[in-house]
């Protein structure tokens, strides 16, 4: 009798464990392998750090409040292959400062935006050229740089590509290195991503030349990219982003990373 009762208890525990295990969900967050400080990069120990990493962890904490069995995994993914990785289900969400654009929405869906940042074009302080996005001739003969597969590369190509050379780079770090070396005249990127460089000794001779105006190419803020069919995940992530903002955690994370500069908060 005792063996029967014990067997029933063990069997029941096993069934319960199986049920819990069946409900567990791993959400794979795809982060571009290329460093993108202060949003995401590895520290000296090889640990991923940055504003966007802290935001990912905060969103995951909110997801766990709704379902304790949820786990979140960071998956390093090459930036230029990050959308194919999502579509091939190697990752479940792109969490890598990807701007929501009409062009990208043809392939994937997005959560609500979790930050936006003004975009700017920087160059040498000694350069007296009066750049004008409405007058391509103002940049005739100049060389622009931007990271590949970004709204920034698309914008400078559309606005100045007819009269200027546009170089694309695998990483922003490499683009900045070429700017510092004089191999390009201007770089376009989010202002927050230039802040560390402009504040450094290496960047002391460079400045913001012009802000990038609102344009359909520049999109609608940064969101988490998901597969079109994953509407439930999209909505859960969007709700978690909203909860992080409402709790004050978004502001706490932003205060921790002063180099992010001017970020636009959802709902602001």
User: Looking at the structure, do residues 40 and 109 belong to the same domain, yes or no?
Assistant: yes
Task: State how far Cα 15 lies from the chain centre.
Answer: 41
The predicted-structure confidence for 16-66, as pLDDT tens digits, reads as follows: 333 444 456 899 999 999 999 999 999 999 999 999 999 999 999 999 998
Note down the domain range covering 159. 119-218
User: Looking at the structure, do residues 140 and 102 belong to the same domain, yes or no?
Assistant: no
CATH value at residue 86 = 3.40.190.10
User: Looking at the structure, do residues 229 and 176 belong to the same domain, yes or no?
Assistant: no
User: Looking at the structure, do residues 112 and 225 belong to the same domain, yes or no?
Assistant: yes
- Are 40 and 79 a contacting pair, CB within 8 Å? no
CA-closest candidate to residue 224, choices 42, 56, 49: 56
User: Looking at the structure, do residues 81 and 172 belong to the same domain, yes or no?
Assistant: no
Is residue 11 in some structural domain? no
Beta strands in the chain (DSSP E): 25-32, 41-42, 48-49, 70-77, 93-94, 109-110, 119-124, 143-147, 165-169, 186-190, 206-211, 225-226
pLDDT on residue 23 = 57
Would you write out the chain's pLDDT as a tens digit for each of its 268 residues?
333 333 443 344 433 333 444 456 899 999 999 999 999 999 999 999 999 999 999 999 999 998 999 999 999 999 999 999 999 999 999 999 999 999 999 999 999 999 998 899 999 999 999 999 999 999 999 999 999 999 999 999 999 999 999 999 999 999 999 999 999 999 999 888 898 899 999 999 999 999 999 888 999 999 999 999 999 999 999 999 999 999 999 999 999 998 887 899 998 6
Tally of structural domains, the chain:
2
Is residue 41 in some structural domain? yes
Is residue 7 in some structural domain? no
* For the chain, percent of residues with pLDDT exceeding 90: 82
Cis-peptide into 78, omega within 30 deg: no
């Amino acid at each position: 009798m005792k063996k029967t009762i014990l067997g029933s208890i063990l069997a029941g525990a096993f069934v319960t464990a199986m049920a819990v295990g069946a409900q567990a969900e791993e959400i794979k967050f795809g982060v571009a392998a290329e460093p993108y400080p202060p949003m995401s990069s590895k520290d000296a120990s090889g640990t991923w750090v940055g504003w966007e990493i802290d935001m990912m962890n905060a969103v995951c904490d909110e997801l766990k409040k709704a379902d304790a069995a949820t786990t979140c995994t960071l998956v390093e993914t090459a930036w230029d292959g990050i959308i194919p990785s999502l579509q091939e289900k190697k990752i479940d969400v792109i969490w890598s400062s990807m701007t929501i654009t009409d062009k990208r929405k043809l392939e994937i869906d997005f959560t609500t935006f979790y930050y936006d940042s003004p975009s700017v074009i920087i160059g040498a302080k000694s350069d007296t050229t009066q750049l004008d996005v409405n007058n391509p001739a103002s940049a005739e003969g100049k060389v622009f740089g931007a990271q590949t597969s970004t709204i920034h590369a698309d914008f400078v190509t559309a606005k100045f590509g007819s009269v200027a050379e546009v170089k694309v780079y695998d990483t922003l770090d490499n683009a900045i290195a070429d700017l510092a070396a004089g191999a390009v005249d201007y770089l376009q990127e989010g202002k927050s991503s230039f802040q560390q460089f402009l504040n450094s000794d290496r960047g002391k001779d460079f400045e913001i030349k012009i802000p990038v105006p609102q344009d359909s190419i520049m999109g609608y803020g940064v969101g988490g990219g998901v597969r079109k069919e994953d509407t439930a995940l999209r909505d859960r992530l969007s709700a978690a982003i909203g909860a992080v903002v409402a709790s004050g955690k978004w502001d706490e994370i932003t205060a921790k990373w002063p180099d992010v500069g001017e970020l636009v908060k959802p709902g602001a």
